[in-house]
Amino acid sequence: MAEARTIGIFGAGWVGLVTGGCLAELGHRVIVRDVVPERIEALQAGRMPFHEPELPEVLERNRDRLHYTLDANELAEADALFVCVQTPPTYSGDADLSYVWAALDDLPQSGRRQILVMKSTVPVGTGEKVNAALEGRGLTNVGYVSNPEFLAEGSAVRDFIDPDRIVIGAFAEEDGIAVEKLYAGIEAPVVRTDVASAEMIKLAANAFLMTRISFINEIANVCEAVGADVVEVARGVGLDHRLGPHFLRAGIGYGGSCFPKDSLALKQLASNSGYHFQLLSAVIEVNELQKRRVISKLGKHLGKLRGKKIALLGLAFKAGTDDMREAPSLVLASRLLSEGADVRAWDPVANPGELMKGVVLCDSVIDAVRGADAAVIVTEWDELRGLASPEVREAMARPLIIDGRNILDPAETRRAGFAYEGVGRQPEPNSGS
Ligand code: NAD
Ligand code: UGA
């Protein structure tokens, strides 16, 4: 068990709340500060500001050790201050660090030594700049540690409590040791390194995961052209222990709050330093094109899309979350609307609000597909695994399923009376032979 400390957290988003809740679970006292009053009010009233499995239970279980506030001065008594604010892209693709700098402006006056722990994903060199700024402000009793976070939404609590590794980059040895101690109770290899390398580990890990996705998506596109099945291919490739099975699910391209922005930030970071990161540029381009391939598949079956009714099933960028940041569904919806299609959509938890103007939102799958010329599986929700049912076939004007996530069995779906297109699968049975 960790020696109990007082921890301050800047940001009650995915990373901040999961970090806060899990550090409380390890026995620490945690003060979470956000700048959005409704968010803090919701948390104080025991309501979750977003959907993340297991997080409500963690927060409830550790209620007595968790405190939520708008007032940064309440963090004065903290031993460590975790920065978990957003780092969205700017127009140039660089990471926008204004929220990080704003959090630094709010650092409390404290008599004790505090360690600033950077959990937000930031460009390499940020630690150096922040450290210099702290010194420039005379805050010599504030240490700096880079401690990037690798959790994925939908499995965030599990990822935090049972991580593959904990990365700690410190300027001062004792600060690195102190942060490592905060994690006592979590079994994981600890990578102690310099700050710049810690920052790069995070960007490189995300870029590598994206590279795998764009790679398998391109293999899928070739499979379609030559009559192979990418699901089989990924299974066979992934069994090579040097390659492994992860992140080889072909689909409609990656989305989310991190991959798209972090790829741009790394590409831009390299470019600002005079290096053209060719491979990453291709990964990004492949991903953009992948999202649009659904449109040509629809066109292949339906001809012109003007006036056609298309059901988008799943809106979140992946299953297990209500997060719609950079979701492929947004690109699909706007492409379909501009083709003149009638777009209906369903998602069990995500609520697009203003993001999907012109799209009719439905409460159930069956409502979404009623009268539709095609159903597109956009998010791999479990509720969609039984989509190829007689009820759905009856409800649709045309029984066509475009499976953007390869969650249905092509043969079974066709036997159930649907025309079926997956990603990287044979368009018609045995057509590759
Ligand atoms: P988020 O947008 O969900 O949450 C950020 C929170 O910080 C918001 O609630 C915002 O109001 C708050 N905030 C902004 N300025 C503040 C300030 N001055 N003081 C206190 N709070 C402030 O973001 P997120 O998804 O949790 O991501 C945070 C960072 O972690 C990003 O850099 C992201 O790249 C990185 N990251 C995210 C994930 C993920 O899965 N979401 C995983 C690993 C790393
Ligand atoms: C991702 C990383 O997995 C985390 O390790 C990292 O901490 C996080 O980004 C971050 O830096 O914020 P997340 O975006 O929550 O986490 O979700 P993933 O499960 O990685 O999925 C990202 C996207 O890739 C989704 O759109 C998903 O559908 C897609 N994906 C994933 C595929 O298309 N194929 C795959 O095989 C895997």
Whole-angstrom distance, CA of residue 222 vs CA of residue 245 = 20
Mutate to test the pocket of ligand 2, among 258, 263, 287 (most ligand atoms within 8 A of CB): 258
Helix 259-272 to helix 278-302 angle (10° resolution) is 140
Q: Quote the pLDDT of residue 329.
A: 97
Measured in Å, residue 9 CA sits from the centre of ligand 1 at 10
Atom in ligand 1 nearest the alpha carbon of residue 72: 19
- Establish whether residue 213 lines the binding site of ligand 2, counting it when its CB lies within 6 angstroms of any ligand atom: yes
Measured in Å, residue 119 CA sits from the centre of ligand 2 at 17
Using alpha carbons, list the distances in angstroms from residue 49 to 12, 54, 323: 9, 14, 11
Ligand nearest to the CA of 287: 2
pLDDT of 407-433, one tens digit each? 999 999 999 999 999 999 987 654 443
Q: Which of 22, 223, 258, 362 is catalytic?
A: 258
- Establish whether residue 163 lines the binding site of ligand 2, counting it when its CB lies within 6 angstroms of any ligand atom: no
pLDDT of 101-127, one tens digit each? 999 999 988 888 999 999 999 999 999
Residue 1 confidence class, pLDDT cut points 50, 70, 90: low
Of 394, 392, 387, 383, nearest in space to 422 by CA:
387
- Establish whether residue 52 lines the binding site of ligand 2, counting it when its CB lies within 6 angstroms of any ligand atom: no
Q: State yes or no: is 22 an active-site residue.
A: no
Stretch among 81-90, 192-201, 226-235, 421-430 having the lowest mean pLDDT = 421-430
CB 340 within 8 A of CB 306: yes
Whole-angstrom distance, CA of residue 236 vs CA of residue 415 = 26
Measured in Å, residue 27 CA sits from the centre of ligand 1 at 23
Mutate to test the pocket of ligand 2, among 52, 149, 151 (most ligand atoms within 8 A of CB): 151
Tokens for 168?
Answer: 């700690």
Is this model's pTM higher than 0.75 or not? Answer: yes
Percent of residues, the chain, with pLDDT higher than 90: 93
pLDDT of 349-404, one tens digit each? 999 988 899 999 999 999 999 999 999 999 999 999 999 999 999 999 999 999 99
Whole-angstrom distance, CA of residue 277 vs CA of residue 207 = 11
Measured in Å, residue 116 CA sits from the centre of ligand 2 at 27
Ligand nearest to the CA of 121: 1
- Establish whether residue 86 lines the binding site of ligand 2, counting it when its CB lies within 6 angstroms of any ligand atom: no
- Establish whether residue 52 lines the binding site of ligand 1, counting it when its CB lies within 6 angstroms of any ligand atom: no
Whole-angstrom distance, CA of residue 239 vs CA of residue 262 = 29
State residue 69 phi and psi, 5-degree precision: -150, 160
Burial class (CB in 10 A: 0-12, 13-18, 19+), 167: buried
Ligand nearest to the CA of 254: 2
Whole-angstrom distance, CA of residue 45 vs CA of residue 321 = 22
CA 110 to chain centre: 35
